[in-house]
Structure formats: structure tokens, C-alpha cells
């Protein structure tokens, strides 16, 4: 689908621009900061002293009391995680921090998505009960686990829910719930990832242990040592990078660049061919995160968690190599599924002017349950429509993974469908841009119709053409290595704090495929003799390369290419199309 390149609405003010006058910040970067709501140098202070205090997070103090009592009583603690990168980092942080605090009996259990599904289910509680834990802590899940918490209560197992997903109408009857998105929580940052929530609980726990004199005979741990995990989980979960999240991500990235990160993260960067000394947030999101996620998608997330928990570099490298291979396998499966999905789309009657419906559902018996989320994301990006992809689940059931577009809150859509059509959805959960659900297989067609109907109700004011927001056109003098370097490290960039993106028209000097589906180009800005290396990943092979194209309009990031010790400017092309 054709995308519209649009200049980002400017929010800069004369006072905002003036705030950067006389500083070392490049005027272009100053304008970009202003357009992202930063209008003072103070807002660029990402020091840990600026972090919001845990006292503002509802029930963090109660969670600290529950944990401190568990430590004092040498209780058996079991962490129940989730099977994605946020869940893995949350689990690794909880286990390693509690052990460092002095817990002698702490372990973890992550549900296998194929056997148990998501969250603290009664089946998981029954499995956990075999080890007779005194306390169950959920990380990155649990806010919708009504039945699971009830089962734990019946067995006399205390429960601490730490989660960041949106709460339903009813909360589980846990001993304590910590979730910035629960009703009554006034924590200023609602954007914590699951790993951020458990990190805040550990901050509250340390403060309470100080008061109790716990560290008089023990070494007090520096929780800053865990910020590499927080950075990884936060970026991989694509939560908005508000200032509080940027503070934690920036600190985590600094630890990684200095070589002080845990062995597993350094090993994962190594197998992904990323330089640890120059790592940025996008490396965590596009290189490290997918390799951890591959374990939960195809095998068992404990592989990823053990990699993150490993203190031995050799062992971490072996685990990272296994995760790398799983990610390679995932790519092959995904490619096959994507080809099948495109064949299905090609057969659909897409309506007037070949426009797709306002929402898309796809189901194929035999699709891999662990990869449907990625496929939904790919189709969503291609069509710019909310997309739900289904695969076979338990007998008589299908499981779906949804991805949405700005303006369509997919969890609210599912909630509305469940209200209008009782029994159509067996269960669901998620947030604005992503969700999961289970349906009776025979309900698929009715659900698909209900989805289109419900999205149509909400889509009247939503732009159904994909829009790329650009920070404008660069002058020929801007294609400099120093500026590219400054932009690269000026973040951390991410969701709701986007990396600078520019647009313009270029002469196509040369083009060729590399790595089977990436387009390597040499471009020259129209009217200039400057030659620039550029690359576009995962291009449509039905369109590119095209030797007839002499000029191209692109949206791109100004980046730095490092090859054999040499550094040069490179354009990372996000979108390209012949002009006109």
C-alpha cells in the first residue's frame, strides 16, 4: 500500500529554540528535540537522580513489605514470567535481585505458550504447587489472572501481581497488585514495561530493607546493575519512551557500552554482529529482543532467561548461539507463513478501488502459533489495517494475535465485541496496539464480521492510509559524519520519541540486492554531486531492484556505517518509491 510522507507537525517555540542557543547541540537536533516536546536543557538530563520515586507507585510499599517478610522468613518464592523479551528480562531481574538481597529459595516458571497459554492460569498454579512455594510473584502478567489467583488462594499460596497491561473490569484477589495502569494509581508514568514495574518493586524493597537494618550484616546491592535488563525489556516491548523510561534505558545502554552488562546481553549482541561499544536502543529492539523472543515462540523461554541469568561468558555464548539459531528458524517459518498469507490476500475481494476492509483477519490451519504475532505485524504494516492472525490452539479453539494502527485501540475493540456478542470470544487481553485472544473455531467467521463492524465504528476519524512523519529535508551540507553520530546517540529513541527521519528526492546512481532481500544503493541528492551509501531492508522483490528507476523519493535515517574500522555516513531507508 502506498504511504504518505508528511512533515511532522512542528511544536517548537522561539523560547524552546532559544533554550539551546549557545550549547554544543547541533541546530538541527535542537529543532528535532523541540518537535518532541523538549524545550529546555533540563529535560535532557537523564541522570538517575531524575527517576520518579517508587513511593509514587501504588502498592509498591505493600509489595516491599510482602517481600521483606518473605526474605526474613526464608520463604520459598516462585516467579511466574511471560514468554516474550519483557517477560524474560522481568523474570531474570526478579530472580537475580532477590537472590542478591538474600533469598535462598527463589526460582522461576514460565508457561509454555503451547501447553499452558498466557499468564497465571489454574493449570500453572497446580504445576507450581508441586514445589510448595509460599509466595508466587507474577512479572509482566497476572492482571487478568482471576482464576489462577483464586486457585493459589485456595492452596494457601500468597500472590504478588506485578504487571503493566490494562486491567479488566475485575481485578484478581491477589495479596498485592502493582500495576501503574490499575485504577487509583497516580504514578506519573503509565508507560512502564513489565521489567520496569518489577524494577520499581525492587527499589521499594531495598528502601524498606534499609529501614529494617537488613544490610547491617549484608552487602547492599546496587540496583543500577540491573538497568541493562530494564533497558532491553523496555525497548523490546515497544512501550512509549517517556522521560522516565528514557532515563532507565539511557542508564542501561551506558552500562552495555562500558562492557558492564551481564554476560548474556553481551553474548547476544555478539551473535547479532552488533558492536557493544556503540549500541543504541534500536540494536536492543531489532537484534537482541527478537533472539530472546524466538525462544518463547518456538521452544521454551527458559533458554532466554538462563542466557540472561548466566554469569559465565562461555556458557552465555553457547546459549546466545542457540537463541540465534532459533531466531533463524523463526525467520524461515515466518517467511513461509507470510507467503501463504499474501496468497490469501491476493484472492480476496478487496472492495472499491482495491481497498482492504477496515480490519483484517487471517487463519490457516497449520500456521505456527508462536509466529502469528509477527505475521499480524507484517500484514498490518503492509495494509495499514488492524490485523488479527489465528492459528490452531486447543481442540476446538483457535488462538489469535492482534496488531493495530494509531487511533484503533485493539483491546477496547475486543472488549466491545465481547460485550455485544457474549460467548464469541473465549478470552482476551492486551493493550492499545497489540492483543491476544482465544475463540471457538466455529466462531471465526462471526468474529471476523464483528471485528470489521466494530472497527468501522471507531475508524471514522482515523487515517486509513499509512503516514510516515518526516522531520523534513536535509541540506547537502547536513550529510556529515559528525551530525550522523550526534543524531545516533542523542536518544534513546523509540516509541513516542521517534528517531529522526528525513525525506527527499535522490538520483539513483546504482542499486543491487544483498542478503537476498535488501536493496543496497548509491544515491545522490537531486541537484548535488554528493554520493551516499544507502540500504533498504526487506524490500518488495516484485518491485525492486528496478533498473528503469532513475530518481527515487525516500524516507530515511541518517546513520553511521562501521565496516573494517572505517566509519561513514549511510542512509537507512525506511520507505522508497519512484516520485510522481
Nearest to 442 by CA among 477, 380, 397, 410: 397
Q: Do 120 and 235 reside in the same domain of the chain?
A: yes
Q: Total domain count for the chain?
A: 3
Domain edge (last residue) among 458, 480, 513: 458
| pLDDT (mean) for 458-480 | 89
Domain range holding 79?
54-323
Domain edge (last residue) among 458, 485, 510: 458
Is residue 338 in some structural domain? Answer: no
Q: Do 100 and 229 reside in the same domain of the chain?
A: yes
Flag whether pLDDT at 349 surpasses 60. no
Flag whether pLDDT at 175 surpasses 60. yes
Q: Do 11 and 60 reside in the same domain of the chain?
A: no
| pLDDT (mean) for 532-539 | 95
Q: Do 186 and 300 reside in the same domain of the chain?
A: yes
Please report which confidence band the pLDDT of residue 126 belongs to, taking 50, 70 and 90 as the band edges.
very high
Is residue 463 in some structural domain? Answer: no
Q: Which of 17-21, 156-160, 360-364, 395-399 has the lowest mean pLDDT?
A: 17-21
Burial class (CB in 10 A: 0-12, 13-18, 19+), 315: middle
Is residue 510 in some structural domain? Answer: yes
Flag whether pLDDT at 12 surpasses 80. no
**Which of 109-118, 347-356, 570-579 tops mean pLDDT?**
570-579
Residue 350 has what pLDDT? 55
Q: Do 239 and 139 reside in the same domain of the chain?
A: yes
Nearest to 317 by CA among 268, 364, 362: 268
Q: Do 199 and 271 reside in the same domain of the chain?
A: yes
Domain edge (last residue) among 400, 425, 458: 458
| pLDDT (mean) for 276-298 | 95
Residue 39 has what pLDDT? 84
Q: Which residue is listed with cell 544490610?
A: 215
54 CA to centre of own chain: 23
Distance (Å, rounded) from C-alpha 379 to C-alpha 196?
30
Between the alpha carbon of residue 244 and those of residues 89, 134, 176, 490, 568, the distances in Å are: 18, 33, 24, 16, 33
Flag whether pLDDT at 1 surpasses 70. no
Is there a contact between 539 and 518 (Cβ–Cβ < 8 Å)?
A: yes
Between the alpha carbon of residue 281 and those of residues 227, 242, 444, the distances in Å are: 13, 14, 38
* Average per-residue pLDDT for the chain: 93
Pairing of strands 532-536, 387-392: unpaired
Is residue 334 in some structural domain? Answer: no
Q: Do 314 and 179 reside in the same domain of the chain?
A: yes
**pLDDT tens digits, residue range 57-96?**
999 999 999 999 999 999 999 999 998 999 999 999 999 9
Q: Do 64 and 18 reside in the same domain of the chain?
A: no
| pLDDT (mean) for 253-270 | 97
- What CATH number is given to the structural domain containing 225? 3.90.1640.30
Is residue 333 in some structural domain? Answer: no
Is residue 520 in some structural domain? Answer: yes
Is residue 69 in some structural domain? Answer: yes
Q: Which residue is listed with cell 522531520?
A: 471
Flag whether pLDDT at 352 surpasses 60. no
Q: Do 230 and 121 reside in the same domain of the chain?
A: yes
| pLDDT (mean) for 97-116 | 88
- What CATH number is given to the structural domain containing 358? 3.10.310.30
Q: Do 11 and 64 reside in the same domain of the chain?
A: no
Q: Do 218 and 120 reside in the same domain of the chain?
A: yes
Distance (Å, rounded) from C-alpha 417 to C-alpha 292?
33
Q: Do 454 and 472 reside in the same domain of the chain?
A: no
Flag whether pLDDT at 580 surpasses 90. no
Q: Which residues pair with 519 in a beta bridge?
A: 513, 536
| pLDDT (mean) for 275-300 | 94
Is there a contact between 228 and 261 (Cβ–Cβ < 8 Å)?
A: yes
- What CATH number is given to the structural domain containing 537? 2.40.50.460
| pLDDT (mean) for 292-309 | 94
Is residue 330 in some structural domain? Answer: no
| pLDDT (mean) for 208-223 | 95
**pLDDT tens digits, residue range 403-436?**
999 899 999 999 999 999 999 999 888 888 899 9
Backbone angles phi, psi at 292, to 5 degrees: -70, -45
Residue 353 has what pLDDT? 59
Amino acid at each position: 500500500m502506498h504511504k504518505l510522507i508528511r512533515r511532522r507537525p512542528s511544536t517548537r517555540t522561539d523560547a524552546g529554540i532559544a533554550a539551546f542557543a549557545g550549547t554544543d547541540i547541533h541546530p538541527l537536533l535542537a529543532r528535532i528535540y523541540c518537535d518532541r516536546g523538549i524545550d529546555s536543557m533540563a529535560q535532557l538530563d537523564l541522570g538517575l537522580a531524575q527517576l520518579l520515586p517508587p513511593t509514587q507507585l501504588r502498592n509498591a510499599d505493600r509489595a516491599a513489605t510482602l517481600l521483606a517478610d518473605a526474605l526474613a522468613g526464608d520463604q520459598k518464592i516462585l516467579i511466574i514470567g511471560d514468554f516474550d523479551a519483557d517477560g524474560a528480562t522481568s523474570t531474570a531481574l526478579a530472580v537475580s535481585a532477590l537472590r542478591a538481597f538474600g533469598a535462598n529459595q527463589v526460582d522461576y516458571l514460565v508457561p509454555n505458550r503451547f501447553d499452558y497459554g498466557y499468564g497465571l492460569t489454574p493449570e500453572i498454579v497446580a504445576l507450581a504447587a508441586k514445589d510448595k512455594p509460599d509466595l508466587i510473584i507474577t512479572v509482566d502478567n497476572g492482571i487478568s489472572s482471576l482464576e489462577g489467583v483464586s486457585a493459589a488462594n485456595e492452596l494457601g499460596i500468597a500472590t504478588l501481581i506485578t504487571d503493566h497491561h490494562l486491567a479488566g473490569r475485575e481485578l484478581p484477589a491477589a495479596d498485592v497488585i502493582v500495576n501503574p495502569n490499575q485504577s487509583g494509581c497516580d504514578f506519573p508514568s503509565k508507560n512502564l514495561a513489565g521489567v520496569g514495574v518489577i524494577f520499581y518493586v525492587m527499589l521499594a524493597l531495598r528502601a524498606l530493607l534499609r529501614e529494617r537494618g537488613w544490610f547491617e550484616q549484608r552487602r547492599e546491592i546496587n540496583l543500577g546493575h540491573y538497568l541493562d535488563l530494564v533497558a532491553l525489556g523496555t525497548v523490546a516491548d515497544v512501550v512509549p519512551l517517556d522521560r522516565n523510561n528514557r532515563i532507565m534505558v539511557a542508564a542501561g545502554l551506558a552500562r552495555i557500552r562500558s562492557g558492564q552488562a551481564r554476560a548474556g546481553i553481551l553474548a547476544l549482541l555478539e551473535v547479532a554482529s552488533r558492536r557493544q561499544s556503540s549500541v543504541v536502543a534500536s540494536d536492543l529492539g531489532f537484534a537482541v529482543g527478537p533472539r530472546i523472543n524466538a525462544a518463547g515462540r518456538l521452544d521454551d523461554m527458559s533458554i532466554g532467561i538462563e542466557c540472561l541469568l548466566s554469569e559465565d561468558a562461555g556458557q552465555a555464548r553457547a546459549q546466545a548461539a542457540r537463541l540465534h539459531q532459533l531466531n533463524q528458524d523463526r525467520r524461515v517459518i515466518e517467511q513461509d507463513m507470510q507467503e501463504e498469507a499474501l496468497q490469501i490476500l491476493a484472492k480476496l475481494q478487496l472492495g472499491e478501488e482495491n481497498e482492504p476492509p477496515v480490519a483484517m483477519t487471517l487463519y490457516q490451519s497449520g500456521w505456527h502459533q508462536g509466529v502469528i504475532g509477527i505475521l499480524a505485524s507484517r500484514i498490518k504494516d503492509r495494509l495499514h489495517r488492524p490485523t488479527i492472525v489465528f492459528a490452531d490452539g486447543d481442540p476446538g479453539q483457535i488462538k489469535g494475535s492482534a496488531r493495530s494502527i494509531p487511533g484503533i485501540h485493539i483491546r477496547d475493540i475486543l472488549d466491545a465485541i465481547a460485550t455485544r456478542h457474549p460467548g464469541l470470544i473465549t478470552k482476551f487481553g492486551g493493550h492499545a496496539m497489540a492483543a491476544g485472544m482465544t475463540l471457538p473455531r466455529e466462531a471465526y467467521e462471526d468474529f471476523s464480521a464483528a471485528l470489521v463492524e466494530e472497527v468501522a465504528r471507531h475508524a471514522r476519524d482515523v487515517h486509513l492510509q499509512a503516514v510516515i512523519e518526516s522531520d523534513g529535508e536535509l541540506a547537502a551540507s547536513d550529510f556529515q559524519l559528525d551530525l550522523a553520530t550526534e543524531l545516533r546517540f542523542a536518544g534513546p529513541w523509540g516509541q513516542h520519541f521517534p528517531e529522526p527521519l528525513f525525506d527527499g528526492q535522490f538520483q539513483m546512481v546504482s542499486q543491487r540486492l544483498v542478503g537476498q532481500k535488501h536493496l543496497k544503493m548509491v544515491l545522490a541528492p537531486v541537484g548535488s554531486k554528493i554520493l551516499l551509501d544507502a540500504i533498504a531492508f526487506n524490500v518488495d522483490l516484485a518491485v525492486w531492484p528496478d533498473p528503469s528507476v532513475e530518481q527515487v523519493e525516500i524516507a530515511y535515517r541518517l546513520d553511521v556505517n562501521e565496516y573494517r574500522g572505517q566509519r561513514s555516513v549511510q542512509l537507512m531507508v525506511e520507505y522508497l518509491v519512484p516520485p510522481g
